[in-house]
Structure 1
């Protein structure tokens, strides 16, 4: 990916800030207002998504003067940024694009998006409008789930739990379909591409892959487009139908996982977890029961922890405390799982005897149903 320069010229006494050279820089202006008379506004990149910014990209600042602030500079395309004012306020992300934009900040609305009138954020309104039916389905699911929770607490009856899980999956599918439809009609929507980029943190599916292909060549070739493609390519390696890559992990004795570790079982669940993940721990009892039921029928579980170096002892203690009798391996600091864009835990991958992924994202009740039908 080519490196892209950004130059920021600030109001007041701030000097020119440059990150390399490019032939496609365009001017931008941010005219801002805030409900503070004085102070300093910082313009921040998202440190968790460094691929979206040029190498060496740093936060920059402008002074507030009687409730006004201003940034002038040059960028080559939209950049997703955050505003921060000391410990008083931090905004949600917003796009800064070439040209003029007016930003209005209300420090009482912490972690909310500032008012931003540029074309990218105007496009966000069209995007949000197109997702109203999917959002309504999600809200309907949430209301139903809350009503069930008020009756059963955290432990739903199995039949109801399975039905709720399928309802949740339907909301995901409706959301993905809505994004695909919007991209078809708006192939130059930077905002929609950014939403796709964020959504891929939860995994890959064919609908999301098709969505990326609907964007214009210009957007796909942009820095954001290339970062999105990278997420697709890494996530797709652990999608249903793919052969599970070999994880370079070791067991409690430091022995590497075998190449043929799946060969002796008809189906193997790869349970990705870590010692301080409460949702991971919450499903251990169910997994133990499922394993006891289906072990003789050709089912096994392999646990892979992503614990950091400082938590290795916690990992070992968790295995003992929760009596995890299936094979356990350590992906120290999550290096292996990060190759496949795995950031949500627990993550489950169900593979067959040939190591082919046959299901992903199974909850214990979903796993039980799958095993009942396939073993």
Structure 2
């Protein structure tokens, strides 16, 4: 009944999305900004467009005004900065403004800080405000659940922590379904690519068959421009990752270890083998490494082992070596130093880091994307 009611709330939002972004004539984004009431106006305003992989543009502030212009084919995410974003010490929240916008002319009126600016002219930005109100109850419901789970973990109450984890998964799945219903109800949404990414992010790792069907339905709603964008390619890769996994035969591969010796998966026979994708620059990977060391030591004599595959690039080889030493990784370490473009990463449909696959003695993937707590719980029952 909750989603039936939600559907009627969603329907009027379509008035924000009546013009299909793929049918727009213009592909130009223009940003006109004015800074007022700032005690010390910045000399430059900087912008980073998410779909240009970190490229920085700047505009000289003249008479408290600034302007940017860029050709974009579809809705994009951008962040404006009142200080050089390369200077980490000056990156304060009040000096930043993140916007989702379609190709259009938007006006920004900044008050005492960039973060409290008024944005006029972007339908995508207006739509985001509506969505933020609609999904707020889901996040409010999740917040106390995470706190309860964390408390039980701190008290080492494994059963209670597992209970709250299940409750979190149930609530998160409701959020995923909210995004799905919104997109289906608003197929011309300016934000549908971003919302599909949100939908994929909130799905549980053990994706159900009907979820795969839903994913296909959503992906076919995307315009060619959406699919060609950096986020579109990431979404496609994530979909491939969700399709691949549990129940599949782990594809064989051959990579060099740290000494340059070729190692094949078929030679790593164990009762349980964790294939772990990581990189030296990946913070969550490094944190998980410390926990993996403890799990490895505890279960290695019971037929458990790990093979780690680094997705560092060749220029970061020394960083990879240092990370292995600093994290105390004492199992097989492999890499072709081709980063996320590694053929093995493609073979395993790796969409983010860390990512792992637990393989049994028959070479079948029996679990994926396990946190070390889940891995230890699984191994403890065997």
Q: How far does the alpha carbon of each residue in 1:89-133 deviate from its partner, in whole angstroms, 9 at most, with x for none?
A: 6535322323332223457466x8974551111111232233233
| Structure 1 spans left out of the alignment, 5+ residues | 1-22, 52-56
For residue 261 of structure 2, give the secondary structure of its aligned residue in structure 1.
coil
Q: What aligned pairs does 1:288-303 form with structure 2 within 5 A after superposition?
A: 288-292=297-301, 294-295=302-303, 299-303=304-308
Q: Which residue of 2 is the match for residue 344 of structure 1?
A: 353
- For residues 130 and 331 of structure 1, do their structure 2 counterparts lie closer, same or farther at Cα, with a shift above 3 Å needed? farther
The answer to whether the 8 Å contact 1:32/1:102 transfers is yes
Q: What TM-score comes out, normalization by structure 2 length? A: 0.69
| Distance change in 2, residues 1:131/1:202 (3 Å) | closer
The aligned counterpart of 1:178 is: 178
- Offset at residue 284 of structure 1 (A): 1.8
Deviations 1:185-232 (A, max 9, x none): 122223241243377579974637724623664535533474255323
Residue number in structure 2 paired with 1:96? 101
Tell me the secondary structure at the aligned position of residue 30 of structure 1: strand
> What is the aligned residue count?
331
Is 1:85 the counterpart of 2:85? The answer is no
Cα distance in structure 2, aligned partners of 1:144 and 1:369: 19
Q: 1:360 aligns with which of 368, 374, 381?
A: 368
Query: Within 1, Cα distance between the matches of 2:277 and 2:202?
Result: 14
Pairs within 5 Å for 1:129-144: 129-144=133-148
Cα distance in 2, alignment partners of residues 247 and 171 from structure 1: 38
Structure 1 residues 60, 332: CA separation in 2 closer, same or farther (over 3 Å shift)? closer
The answer for unaligned runs of 5 or more in structure 2 is 1-23, 85-89
Q: How many angstroms apart in 2 are the aligned matches of 1:32 and 1:77?
A: 21
Structure 1 residue 159: Cα displacement: 2.8
CA shift at 1:139, angstroms?
0.7
In 2, distance between residues paired with 1:210 and 1:59?
A: 36
Residues 136 and 119 of structure 1: CA distance in aligned 2, closer, same or farther (over 3 Å): same
Matches within 5 A, 1:7-22: none
* Structure 2 CA distance for partners of 1:106 and 1:247, relative to 1, 3 Å: farther
Residue 32 of structure 1: CA displacement? 2.0
How big is the alpha-carbon RMSD for the aligned residues of Structure 1 and Structure 2? 3.8
Give the drift of 1:314.
Answer: 1.8
User: In the alignment, what sits opposite 1:68?
Assistant: 65
Cα contact 1:184–1:215 (8 A) shared by 2: no
> Which residue of 2 is the match for residue 10 of structure 1?
none
Aligned to 2:34: 33
- Greater percentage in helix: 2
Structure-to-structure mapping, 1:137-156, within 5 angstroms: 137-148=141-152, 152=155, 156=156
Q: Which residue of 2 aligns with 1:3?
A: none
